[in-house]
Structure formats: structure tokens, C-alpha cells
Amino acid sequence: MKSRSEVNIREKTTAFDFQPEFRKTVLGNGVRVVTEHHPFSRSTSAAIYVEIGTRDESIGINGAAHFVEHLVFKGTKSRSAFEIAKSLESVGGELNAYTSREVTCFHATSLREHLPLSLDVLVDLVGGAVFDSKEFVKEKDVILQEIDMSAEVIEDYIFDLYFEKVFSGHALGMPILGTPKSLNRISRKDLFDFYHHRYGGRNLVVSVAGDVDHDRVLELVGKSLSRSKNYSIRKKRVRPKQKAFTQVISRPSEQVHMLIGFPSGAFTDSARFESYIVNAALGGGMTSRLYQKVREDRGLVYSIYSYLHSFTDCGSIMIYAGSSQKNAPKVLKIISMEIKKLLKKGLSKRELDFFKTQVKGSILLGSDDVESRMNSIAVNEMVFGEYRPVDEVVAQIDKVSLGSIHEYLERFIDFNKSGVMLVGDVDEEKGSRWVENSFEK
């Protein structure tokens, strides 16, 4: 095995009955291996993150990262598609993957005694896929059906449409699934080259949490992954500019789907913890202002919530609601009024304390789940390049004040920078008039 560097941290905490031990090793070719030991856990969660997502594609191969994610499950040098499928299921575990705009992740959850199997399968997927030509054709058809199916679920699809508009002209605006046009342009060689030149070296983070031994994890993955090249082929990411807009898309639907968004901070932004609190207060749950005002008090919607989406260099805070055409103008008006009220008066001390407790509780509950911890230590490595103990995060949330909330709101929540999208059975003129009557641009 090539030379490597190591970090060993034992978290000092009063929030747990034990001290989870974090360890990190960087293999000689740049592959990072991070683990967090939870001695009382019967399960383990393991993943290999590839720091390649949709934003790292060119327009000509849009959808390639997601296509690769699908195709590696169709066979490797040592396993058939069926053998991959049954590998973890046969022992009661789970194997899955996902592609986002910034990463591709292959992950497995199993009993601790089956961790060697989990890691063997994950390494096989990341390093041994064969890209069979017949499977390539079949899977392309599957993804084309997936694109059609996703467009039918407007509550989800509206987010893709929003990103396409707000990040127009930037790779972050491209759909994760690609388009029928881009998929039909992609060849098997395009996909294999994308996989072969990106899935290795510094682009990989192996993350494991549970009752695990770090040295054992290195034994299981080090020999295979240390042979991959030290790739740094990912093109430099350019920070996007978010564009203000109003767009109404008319299409048959029982409801009018609404999405209102504002720029927010990146993962590394100094105000990221303030964004957590504002999101929780605005529409993060049943006690949030929008849920109480729009659903509980007025009964105008079934679904309304806010959502914080952070990237490595930017972010968005978005509000979704779905209502009948009759109620849609009222819903938009109330959303606008609540945002203006928040900008004018901020949060009360009681609200701040309430939502800080809520956010901290959610984080601490998540820290008991090994899959959540596996994801957390991987994200911290990819974003910050270091370990961030749970108690440190909780302490930073404690520092959020009424003043820092006010600074966040002043900095980010500006109607002149907002994006508003309506999708449903409403014509463009009418929908634009609703928005104009509610939101001042």
C-alpha cells in the first residue's frame, strides 16, 4: 500500500454515554477513508462518495453521472446484476445509490459482521463495472421512462424546473436525470470514459459508521482503492449567480404548485446555522409560521413547507405550497405577508429559543443513527476537510442570536432577488398577476 496520512480524534462530549472515535486516513493516491466508531451499534453503514455530480458534466453529456450510477449495478468483473442485487439482501442488508448535483454516492447498511461484504460490493461497484453494451441500451430506456415519470410528480418536478430557471446558463441548472436529447447523445464510450477518469483518487471518500475498526476498514478497501489513479480531472467549479424571475407554466393538474425561493448561504457560509433556524421557523415543520397560518388557521392547503438547499458555493431557501386554483392567490398573499413580517420584526426571543431547541434536538437524534453519522462525517470531509463533532455543531447553534438572525434576513431575503414559479392549471397572464399582487420585485 502506498504512503498515507492519518488523523485520530476521540470526541469529548457530555451528550452521549460513550465517546465515538473518529479516524481518518488518506491513502497515497488521495482516497480518503473516514470512520466513526459506535461500540454499541449492531449495524454499520458504509458508503463510497464520488465528488462528481451533475454540475461537473458538460451540456453534451448531461445525465452522465446518474447514468453511470445506474449502469454499475448491471454487472462488474466479479458479479452479475443479480449477484449485486442479492449480495446485501441475502443477509438482510440494503444496497443503494443516488446522484445529486454535486456528488454520487453508493451506500450499504448491514449488520456489523457483514461489513466486509458491504465494503467489497461497494468497491466492486466503484472500481469494477463493465458497462455491458446490451445493458447500456436497456438502462438508457429505463432512465428515459424515469424522466417521463418524474415529470408527472409536479411537487418534486417543480424543483428541477426552478433550478433550471434560477441557475440558467450554469451547470447547476441542468437536470440530474438529463434530458431525452442529452441521453440519446451519450455513447457507451462516453459513459465508460466518464467513469474511468473520475472514479478514483482524490475524488473518492470512503465513509463508515457503526461498531467498526478503522484499521480493519483499511485492510478491506485499501488494497483495491489504493491502485486507482490520483484523479483530479474534475473541472473547476464556477460559482453561479442566482437570477430573479417569475415563471408560470400552464399544464393540466388538480392543484396549482407554487415554489418561491431566495438565495441563501453555502455549506461553508458563516450564517449557515442562522439559515437552519430561519428555515425551521418559516416552514420547517407543523409548528412553523407558514404551516400554522396557511394550513391550520385557514385550511387553504394540504402541503406547505420550506426547504433549505445548500451547495459548496451557494444555496437557496425555498417555500413550496400546493393548492386549488381558487385558493392559490390567497396562499401566495399569506406567504408574502409572513415573509414581510419576518423581515420587519424578526423572531421573538421565545421563537428563537423554541426553534434552536428543535434544530438541536433533530441533530442529536440523528447522531444516534449510524447512517446519519456516516453521511455527516463524509459531508464534513468533502466540504470542510475536517471532522466536526456533534457537540461542536450544537454549540454553534447555541450562539445564534436575534441579531445574527436579523443579519441573515437582511443579507439574503430580498424580494428583488426572489424566484417565483407556478405550475398547474392556470394561464400565464393570470398567474403572473397573482404573483405581482403578492410579491414586490
Q: Annotated active-site positions, please?
A: 69
427: left (phi > 0), else alpha (psi -120 to 50), else beta?
beta
| Crossing angle (nearest 10°) for helices 64-71 and 133-152 | 120
Query: What is d(CA 435, CA 433) in angstroms, rounded to the nearest whole number?
Result: 5
Alpha-carbon torsion angle 286, 289, 315, 51, nearest 10: -10
Query: What is d(CA 328, CA 10) in angstroms, rounded to the nearest whole number?
Result: 52
Query: What is d(CA 45, CA 210) in angstroms, rounded to the nearest whole number?
Result: 6
Amino acid code (one letter) for 221: V
Query: What is d(CA 50, CA 96) in angstroms, rounded to the nearest whole number?
Result: 14
- With beta carbons less than 8 A apart as the criterion, state whether 162 and 425 touch: no
Query: What is d(CA 56, CA 63) in angstroms, rounded to the nearest whole number?
Result: 10
Query: What is d(CA 433, CA 421) in angstroms, rounded to the nearest whole number?
Result: 13
Query: What is d(CA 59, CA 174) in angstroms, rounded to the nearest whole number?
Result: 8
Query: What is d(CA 307, CA 46) in angstroms, rounded to the nearest whole number?
Result: 27
Sequential DSSP letters for 32-65: EEEEEE-TT-SEEEEEEEES--GGGS-GGGTTHH
